[in-house]
Structure 1
């Protein structure tokens, strides 16, 4: 059986090849699937050639003057009847008229043969005469036909198909000076139109105009194939699908400019809100210890790039480290919602009340046509001084204050009496002071003679203690950990090891890097360390070498000051 089929196939191939060179085009036929047709609705032009011709033998470009030309498909059929070979090539093209009127499809010439021209009547859209013949059509609508500049327009395209879809492509609408993007996913449903059941595919687009004036939105377009009702023969090479194309109507929208009295960032929206949060959330914070304030800006119907910068106003009593920002976009009920979140690490510098002013974001309400503002609440905290830390001294003149409280003395007798009393008191004080100086001199001379031998030993001991402490610095485990952390530019380990070492070395308690930086006078190097700790998204910390040098230089400076203070000069020369 297999051999029989092989012989049949070889015989057909031989006949096909032998007849190919001798076949000539003798007939070209042009037909349309319906006449009349409706504007903006597709119809199918079929060109049939009684020979096997190349795919580029027919070019529909000459029809572009009167129609929108869709896809063109090519199919071939070969048959042998009573030993006679016949071949046929079929070109199928989708055409869409855009306006009503009388049109003519010219004669199509292929291989020396030509088809007869076709007169075509195109009806106005909405004419019921063609409704029963519609296989596919597109409807489009917008939510507003009068908007402001950069105000988004919601464009809804609905494709109606009366046949099963094989494949297709829905092309977005087009408009100059506007950004167009799809929103969400397609939706499917079924509807009855003029007694005929259609499957409906819905897709939503957001169109954002970038220029004021008249905006013309060319309708969305569908190109595809649907299955025909006829059955395909196993002996036929023609497909049982039919190409379909359709275009939605053009929509005109008026775009108004930005109001003349508007100032600042232009943000047109139906709704804008801003919220804030504090972490950790508590009423009292400590000087030098950071906390985080986050702001979330939400706007309906705008893209993330349209959101303005969030710039709160902070007082001078805190240091601020921005923690970057994040943007997000999602759709809800066919509407785009954009969000921007930005966080700040706040480090208090001074104790007392801390007030963070309210933040206001101006925006334009497209529903009311009036300016509006999204406002946060004012934040109030209390900042306490940590254990062992000293507050910044405040200048005051208590002596002048007390002097201003004393009433002036104008009585002449009281003045004379006071003068005599002061004179007697001064005489007593002078005599007592002279006696005290004499006694102290005697005692001091005796003490110096006794302690002169031990004084030099004490000075040598004090000097040796400071030098030994500095010499043994590299033998300290915590100091070596600090060295290693600085060498590796590890900010967190450098902070922890430095605080542990300083608490033991200076024999006092440092609660934060801020307090230690004030004690060692290395605020600049520690500020860079803090910024890397409180701002994780910033560039990695690379100042380990600088911090190590500053700390070591500060230790040497403090050692020299301590040595100078402890070592007293000789009261008497050796001569």
Structure 2
């Protein structure tokens, strides 16, 4: 209630103080420990009577050395004085404190003994069971819990060519030198590791284990019944500790074997054999407006403007080696460049992505082909087909094609205008002298001449303005070639296609442009140098200048 009666200025001061307090708390927060833990671990779970082993009690905060009461151990164990160590570390601004009690312990009697729970400032450890055996049985009852290995497989029945996912989980609870984990094996099976090993730490029945996880793909080559031999772990088990001599004992563990039952390909199946529980086929067009199901109108594209088609295929439980190759029959009035297929793993799917660049070459209707893939549904036990639809386009001329055609039809006018300029200049000189004598008689004629001259200049300027279009297209093409931009080169080349180029020169340029496109979009990419194409375009510019000069001089030649 008092807070509600505070004035606006006072409220502002409270807000500032609250913000400062919040900032201080956020700075201190990483160093705070909200729930301290006490964990008890042992170096062994199976020991001989009177054989010493290590008991470690860890607390994630600093505590007094006298807080640990070991008297509950006296009933079943012999123990020594604890060795105590404390440490503090700061990682990424987070402060961690740790206290460890290391105690040497030995069992007094044969049987299953329990290390009791310990109370430390409100924290409590978990009891640990220890199996104590006779000394004479020590070799026979080796510490089997030091190394444990579990294996799993997603299923044991399938079809030839289908991929199985096989997992290995290795627990190492003791010191091992030169550890090695061999892959599982079996006749008639292709076995491949997938991804990298994953490593973590856990405490199981008071024992600290390093856990190694690994995954494999198993692909049967033939049908029938197979035995998948488990992976084998080998290493050297080191006994003793840093205070006495150590002895290395060879150690080997093999996981259990598994059976696989593989069926044949059904006789009624047609097409490339693709057994899987799920297959997904999709495509995407760029521009995005193409291929849209919401667009019911005729879809159009322009000559020379690139269209990108990205096809994605996802197959579950299969390997990259059995992924199909796309074979699409495109019409001759488009040019197609395909990138090399890209592959990656996504959960239990193998994903293949193919990108194609389609460039229309002619006006009219064009159908970009559909794609259909047959596959065998292992869950339903029958053949299925996945499809992506075709795309029908109406190809229209490029933006600058109309300008180019106008320039071609206006060339005769250009010749006519230029041819009239030189005689007019001569007539103007003649009448300039004659007007001194016949000024009154020819004044009207002079007025008409001036009107005609203005019309001529206006027409010449308009023609000059229209002539800039092809020059700018050629300049844009040269710029794109220098920048090695294949898509822009393709677009500009089609726009510039109808300019006045000699047949041989045009053929050489076409070869170079095709080579450039192949270097960017073909399956086997090659290096391409733009020097030759730039020189050819310089020749085109020079030929244009020569043609313009000849056009200006031609009217002076007497008929």
* TM-score (normalised: structure 2): 0.49
Larger radius of gyration: 1
